[in-house]
Structure 1
Amino acid sequence: MDLRLAAAADAAPLAELGARSFVAKFGHLYRPEDLASFLQGSHSTDKVAGEIADPRLRIMLAEEDGRLLGFCKLVMECGWPDHARGATVIELKQLYTDPEATGRGIGAGLMDWAMAEATSFGADEVQLSVYSDNPGAQKFYARYGFGKVADIHFMVGDQRDEEFLFAKVI
């Protein structure tokens, strides 16, 4: 597996993988119109192209033989300032793997990069949002020292999901 920063040409495959991964894991939870609205707002090629160009974001790709297997987005600013404990808090926005490639250490490789990048940036806390009914992801983040700090919510179209804010002080 190779890791590299996303470039402008990666917008379409990154958007496709993000949408496909979200639908595979959570698509059954939503009305079609809510899901379509969310995907357009969060996983469109235009949205991802804007993220790649944004200097406040770092997007790392995991590839194998030129095939995109996963990605991780870091926002180099605080997502939930009301719950911040550090002075320089950043947000791990998404850590997605191809549904057909889970269990191969892709998430671990991306998380190792994210934590090293956070340290290099000078962050003293990393925050992330995780679905309240996703114990596998919660367990994964707990292995890296993240713990629940607040109950929050996440909108998918008009549907409000209960989420947990996890954080780790570095």
Structure 2
Amino acid sequence: MTTAGTAGAPDAPATAAPPVVRRARADEAAPLADLAAATFPLACPPSSTPEDHAAFIAGNLTPEHFATYLADPTRDLLVADADGELVGYTMLVAGEPYAAEVAAAVPLRPTVELSKCYVLPGRHGGGVAGALMAASLDAARTRDAAGVWLGVNGENLRAQAFYRRSGVRGRRRAHVPGRRPAAPRPGPAPAPLAPPAGRVEGCDRHAVGVSVTTLH
């Protein structure tokens, strides 16, 4: 799913300096993990707790996890860089949707998942998410994808509105019971990608709406 960390925070002033959207570097696993930890709770429903958020972050969004994501050739990670500070990021995953129910809801092939789209609260409303989204669709085009799919928690109304403005259409309800494992990489094994459980899963992947956009 995608997840968009855009709910429940004030918009940034329009005078904020526009960041540069670029590919994440291999040495940016730690700042990406910090950014993910700061933004992940924004996509979670009100029923989730800080303990839920912390458990999910520890199981999926540590520097070790991001090092694995950055080394995975099926993934593209883009960042919004504001004078050296990472203020937003996206992660795309190329390939067949990893859950059968999602695969049935996504008609386009080849396809790319927009797995993550998050922006720091202080940068909301300044065009950062839109710039990241445009660059992410371009990245999917370079993989010759016919379309991009994403999922949004049903309670994340702000993210749903953002994706509609971005041209994403066709929402179908789906229960996604976990996450695809990251591709193995040389060297010591990273922390395992633990499947979310209980309300933690509800933050990101539980009973989501799956939407698709066609690439031209």
Tell me the TM-score normalized by structure 2: 0.72
Moved more, 21-30 or 51-60: 21-30
Moved more, 37-46 or 150-159: 150-159
More helix by share: 1
Moved more, 64-73 or 157-166: 157-166
How far 1:27 moved relative to its partner? Answer: 7.5
| Structure 2 residue 92 is the aligned partner of structure 1 residue 70 | no
Where structure 1 has 5 or more consecutive residues not aligned to the other structure, the ranges are none
Deviations 1:40-59 (A, max 9, x none): 12211111110011000000
* Distance of aligned partners of 1:50 and 1:150 in 2 relative to their CA distance in 1, 3 Å threshold: same
Q: Is the 8 A contact 2:89 2:118 kept in 1?
A: yes
Where structure 2 has 5 or more consecutive residues not aligned to the other structure, the ranges are 1-18, 179-195
**Counterpart of 1:55 in structure 2: which amino acid?**
P
Q: Is the 8 A contact 2:40 2:53 kept in 1?
A: no
More strand by share: 1
Deviations 1:110-166 (A, max 9, x none): 011011122221111110011101121111111222123421235653224331111
Q: Take 1:52 and 1:122, find their aligned partners in 2: how far apart are those partners?
A: 20
Deviations 1:78-129 (A, max 9, x none): 3232222112011000010011211111101001101112222111111001
Q: Is the 8 A contact 2:29 2:64 kept in 1?
A: yes
Tell me the TM-score normalized by structure 1: 0.90
**Counterpart of 2:208 in structure 1: which amino acid?**
E
1:162 — aligned with what?
Answer: 207
| Structure 2 residue 150 is the aligned partner of structure 1 residue 128 | yes
2:59 — aligned with what?
Answer: 41
2:121 — aligned with what?
Answer: 99
How far 1:2 moved relative to its partner? Answer: 1.1
Q: Take 1:13 and 1:136, find their aligned partners in 2: how far apart are those partners?
A: 25
1:13 — aligned with what?
Answer: 31
Higher relative contact order (CA 8 A, sep 6+): 2
How far 1:28 moved relative to its partner? Answer: 5.0
